[in-house]
Amino acid sequence: MKAVRRPMFWFSLAMWLLSIVIAGLLIQLGGLIMSDVPTAGKRISQSDFVDNVKLEAIDARIDTLEATLLVNKNDIEDARVRLKSRSLDYNTQLINFRSWIATRTATEADDQNSEVIKRSHEIEALKLEERKAERDIERLEQKGVEPRRTLAALRQDRRQVIDAARPIYEKARKFEVLKVFMLRLALTLPLLLISAWMIAKKRSSHYWPIYRSFILFSLFAFFVELVPYLPSYGGYVRYIVGIAMALLFAHFSIKAMMRYQSNKKTEEQKPETEKRKLIEYETAVKKISDGVCPSCDRRFVTKAVRKSEKPPMADVDYCVHCGFCLFSKCTNCGTRENSFYNFCGTCGDPSKGSSNDAQA
């Protein structure tokens, strides 16, 4: 870690915020473009693939039959009303006749014989009317049977015509979805590649915060916006690209580590005065106060000791691993302090040269 000056810390924090803000704006813009591009063509549906000529013919026949059946239903309703009124007529007449017969038996009038016959004829006629109404209903119901069967068969046909379109539609839909996905992939993958190039080449650029915002944006666009759009292909793409990125990262990390180690080795061969020139002032000051040797990067105080509030460094003047000078005495007043300090903290004497002289 670099021991950065305080303003530098705030500056880098502000730059991070700026990176995130720019990335957010880019994501918004990208989302807008994304939402416009794939919806350019209209979304397909199953009805686009149905044989419409067949379907219309069937629908026309269904309409006719439904109209016929409606008429039939109304006719039956009317006939039922008629039957009800006929039955009522007959029953009323029958009750009247029975009570009349009862009265007649009581009086035993023979001359009323022809009247009996006339009245029973009337009742029979009413019974016939009732029967006729019943037969009307039966006839009408019979008339409805055939159209109802045909209608059921037609509805079956209609379903078949619609179902026949399903495989074609599903095939077309898969293709459509793949097309949109490829389009999105073609937009986002180059962004990711550009980001990889930026990470490789522009990391030490002064404009890195701007590059970083682009990288954040491309990562978001690829892994968050593209992938959930299509879980079936998205999963593959996400994992394959994720694995590729992890492998690349591992490759470059290992290379960087090897480079670091070989650099350290060559550094260790050099005399201390030269080593000092290679180490950055702020880094060295920070590392020594943290208990880490700025030359070999190893800890020169044990962890247990570091736990206490102030690491007791009184007895460690040289790195126990590489012999690098960590603390030295001021040539003017003799105070022991960080060997990298430019000035003595006690007397203000420019002590840097002295510590180097002491080591040389």
239 φ/ψ angles, rounded to the nearest 5 degrees: -70, -40
Per CB under 5 A, residues contacting Zn ion are 293, 295-296, 319, 321-322, 324, 330, 332-333, 335, 344, 346-347, 349
The least CB distance from residue 260 to Zn ion, in Å, is 15
DSSP tally for the chain: helices H, then strands E: 9, 2
Nearer to Zn ion, 142 or 269 (CB): 269
Q: Which is nearer to Zn ion, 26 or 344 (CB)?
A: 344
Q: Which residues pair with 331 in a beta bridge?
A: none
**Beta carbon of residue 296, minimum distance to Zn ion (angstroms, whole number):** 3
- Closest approach, Cβ 254 to Zn ion, in A, equals 24
Nearer to Zn ion, 188 or 295 (CB): 295
**Six-digit token pair at 41?**
């063509």
Angle at 17 between CA 16 and CA 19, to 5 degrees: 65
143: three-class secondary structure by DSSP: helix
Say if residues 350 and 342 touch (Cβ distance below 8 Å). yes
Q: Smaller CB distance to Zn ion: residue 283 or 332? A: 332
CA distance 280 to 261: 18
**Tokens 């704006």 found at:** 25
DSSP 8-state assignment for residue 46: G
Minimal distance, residue 286 CB to Zn ion, in Å: 15
Please check whether residue 112 is in contact with residue 101, taking contact to mean a CB–CB distance below 8 angstroms: no
Q: Report yes or no: 135 and 56 within 8 Å, Cβ to Cβ.
A: no
Cβ nearer to Zn ion, comparing 227 with 293: 293
- Nearest approach, Cβ of 325 to Zn ion (angstroms)? 10
Helices (H), the chain: 6-36, 52-107, 113-201, 208-220, 231-269, 272-278, 281-289, 303-307, 352-359
Decide: 195 and 208 in contact? Cβ < 8 Å.
Answer: no
- What is the smallest separation between the CB atom of 334 and Zn ion, expressed in angstroms? 7
Whichever of 34 and 292 has its CB closer to Zn ion, that residue is 292
